[in-house]
Amino acid sequence: MKNKKLVSAIRFFVSVYLVSAVLYLPILLSGRGISSAVTKLAMLLITFVPSITGIIFVYRTRSRDERRDFWRRVLRWPVGKTGQALVYLFLFPCTILISLAVSYHFAGKPLPFSNVLSLFRDWRLLLQFLLVEFFLGAVSEELGWRGFVLDELQSRFRPLASGLLLGVVWAFWHTPAFLIPGLSQYEMGGIFSMPYFSFLITVVMTSVIHTHAYNATGKSVLTAGVLMHFASNATLVLFGGIFDAFYVPSLFWIFQPVLTFAAAAVTTFVSSSRARAVSARQAAGSPALRT
């Protein structure tokens, strides 16, 4: 069974990469970024590849009850896990804001609030921002990454290894975006720049945190996937901008992976400690071990 699930995970990864590559091809060949209607449509479809693929795999590999459970975990708040959920939800915005504040301080500039103020002065613009970041930045990916494939990996590997493996695949899936003019990733500095490698490290560490959050909230895809992803993206866009308007101080690309690594280390330690405590309680309550 474990080997079957690992094969399913590999097939999922291959499918996501192949479909994404086909859709990326016209954008890359055009050499004009996402300036035309065709390339914009292709980019829109690419963002939904992980989630659409995840849903397809759920319906191909899981029972009716497991499918219902999948949608329950996607749509419902994890009842009884509110404390853990809130801690994890605020974790990414905190690391981003601290990294931004420190990097702007060393650059001799104040943390900019102009984008935040302009959004909150126009409710229509704010609503548009929230919907775009929620659906195109979070829902479009998380039903695949956390909704489907994370369980497949955890059936074979420990949470830390599962988070790292998924993180590597997830991080490199974004690589073509660093080659496309007009996208935020391209404006960061393009491929093989310091921001690119910083991004890769940050995403891998982020995946580890997502994994611990997923397990701590009863496998809540809504919390540990969609809402955490949304909170991270929304915070960075609010203070860094989007597309060709994106800007953060260069030191951000040093502070952010360091802080995310530290957060991943802490959450790994806490999760491991809780797992050992649960195992100890279960062992103490086992009839075979009572004296």
Can you tell me the mean pLDDT for 42-58? 97
- Measured over the CA atoms of residue 144, residue 145, residue 149 and residue 154, the dihedral's sign is negative
What's the pLDDT score for residue 279?
77
The residue extents of the domains of the chain are 2-282
What's the pLDDT score for residue 289?
43
Report residue 236 as tokens. Answer: 């960075």
Which tens digits make up the pLDDT trace of 180-228?
A: 988 888 888 888 899 999 999 999 999 999 999 999 999 999 999 999 9
Whole-model pTM? 0.93
> In this prediction, what percent of the chain has a pLDDT beyond 90?
76
61/75 Cα distance (integer angstroms): 20
Which tens digits make up the pLDDT trace of 82-138?
A: 999 999 999 999 999 999 999 999 999 999 998 888 888 998 989 999 999 999 989
18/145 Cα distance (integer angstroms): 16
Mean pLDDT, the chain, whole residue set: 92
Residue 288 has pLDDT above 50, yes or no: no
Least confident of 34-38, 71-75, 237-241: 34-38
Report residue 63 as tokens. Answer: 């029972």
- Cα angle vertex 271, ends 267, 274, to 5°? 140
108/110 Cα distance (integer angstroms): 7
| Closest to 94 in 3D by CA, of 214, 262, 250 | 262
Report residue 180 as tokens. Answer: 């496309």
Residue 287 has pLDDT above 80, yes or no: no
